[in-house]
Amino acid sequence: MNETQRSKIILKILNKIYPKTPIPLKHRNKFTLLVSVLLSAQTTDVNVNNVTKNIYPKYNKPVHFVKLGRKKIEKLIKSIGIFRVKAKSVYFLSKQLIEKHNGKVPETFEELEKLPGVGHKTASVVMSQGFGHAAFPVDTHIHRLAQRWGLTNGKDVVQTEKDLKRLFPKKFWNKLHLQIIYYGREYCKARECYGLTCKICTTCYPNRKSPIKTKKA
């Protein structure tokens, strides 16, 4: 079975299990989506949602966070990992949005990636989930799963993104990246499946006997 055949099987399985893909990060607008994605680095979406449910009703625009200042932002997000670094990014990001974009989140990869704390993956999520543009955000989980499923060599997230975009039609990208995340959390867990037990792994690799080793992003 080659990678093209595997990609078709994977798409079929994921569409059956996850016909709908709600956005896991709770947000009120494109700006709060951007902030939530930034906060989600090295922590879970559940942790982020638990913190932001008390923030966004009151603070949901760049001007709000600039007025708060770094120290108050730190206090609000203290229960999230690396909160000082994230508070700094949120503060300066908000400031830049006001100064250069009239308080609006820009709608291009180039402008998004110029914002403090915003890398390609974060920009991809905002372009995909915020603006509806075709993008394929690749985080450490998707990077791991793509290797287990034989869709990439795992060189790095840049290569994984290229490989997934090559294998799957553009019209599926936005939904598919969420489907893969949901599936990984539920069935192909990092320390449970090891490429041996879930439906995708067993269908694509029926003769696999040893746990698959994946390269970290």
Same domain? 158 vs 182: yes
Least confident residue range of 50-54, 128-132, 175-179, 189-193: 189-193
Which of 107, 130, 153 is at the close of a domain?
A: 130
Q: Classify residue 184: in a domain, yes or no.
A: yes
Q: Classify residue 141: in a domain, yes or no.
A: yes
Same domain? 72 vs 96: yes
**CATH code of 111's domain:** 1.10.340.30
Q: Which residues contact 154 (CB under 8 A, 6 or more apart)?
A: 143, 146, 147, 160, 214, 215
Q: Classify residue 209: in a domain, yes or no.
A: no
Same domain? 153 vs 74: no
Residue among 147, 148, 123 at smallest CA distance from 136:
123
Q: Which residues contact 174 (CB under 8 A, 6 or more apart)?
A: 128, 129, 132, 134, 135
Q: How many domains does the chain divide into?
A: 2
The 10s digit of each residue's pLDDT in 130-175 is 999 999 999 989 999 999 999 999 889 999 999 999 999 999 999 9
Q: What is the pLDDT of residue 119?
A: 95
Q: What is the pLDDT of residue 78?
A: 96
Mean pLDDT of 14-19: 98
Whether 121 sits among the annotated catalytic residues: the reply is yes
| SS3 category, 149 | coil
Q: What is the pLDDT of residue 64?
A: 98
Q: Classify residue 8: in a domain, yes or no.
A: yes
**CATH code of 12's domain:** 1.10.1670.10
Question: CA 184, CA 38: separation in Å to the nearest integer?
Answer: 21
Mean pLDDT of 69-75: 97
Q: What is the pLDDT of residue 154?
A: 82
Q: Classify residue 103: in a domain, yes or no.
A: yes
Q: What is the pLDDT of residue 208?
A: 94
Q: What is the pLDDT of residue 133?
A: 97
- Of 16, 30, 78, 139, which one is the catalytic site residue? 139
Residue 197 is part of which domain span? Answer: 3-21+136-204
Instruction: Determine what percent of the chain is predicted with pLDDT higher than 90.
Output: 92
Q: Classify residue 211: in a domain, yes or no.
A: no
Same domain? 181 vs 98: no
- Of 53, 72, 121, 155, which one is the catalytic site residue? 121
Same domain? 151 vs 186: yes
Q: Classify residue 212: in a domain, yes or no.
A: no
Question: CA 29, CA 78: separation in Å to the nearest integer?
Answer: 23
Same domain? 73 vs 141: no
Question: CA 106, CA 31: separation in Å to the nearest integer?
Answer: 10
Structure tokens at 55: 């923030």
Same domain? 85 vs 45: yes
The 10s digit of each residue's pLDDT in 80-125 is 989 999 999 999 999 999 999 999 999 999 999 999 999 999 999 9
Residue among 13, 28, 204 at smallest CA distance from 212:
204
Whether 139 sits among the annotated catalytic residues: the reply is yes
Same domain? 53 vs 13: no
Buried/exposed code over 24-33 (b: 16+ C-beta within 10 A; e: otherwise): bbbbeebbbb
Q: Among positive and negative, which fits the CA dihedral 11, 13, 16, 21?
A: negative
Average pLDDT, the chain: 96
- Other CB atoms within a 10 A radius of the CB of residue 102 amount to 8
Question: CA 78, CA 86: separation in Å to the nearest integer?
Answer: 10
Same domain? 166 vs 196: yes
Q: Classify residue 44: in a domain, yes or no.
A: yes
Q: How confident is the model at residue 60 (pLDDT cuts 50, 70, 90)?
A: very high
Contact between 70 and 166 under an 8 Å Cβ cutoff? The reply is no
Question: CA 165, CA 174: separation in Å to the nearest integer?
Answer: 11
Same domain? 162 vs 84: no
pTM to 2 decimals?
0.93
The answer, yes or no, to whether residue 217 has pLDDT greater than 80, is no
Which of 101, 130, 159 is at the close of a domain?
A: 130
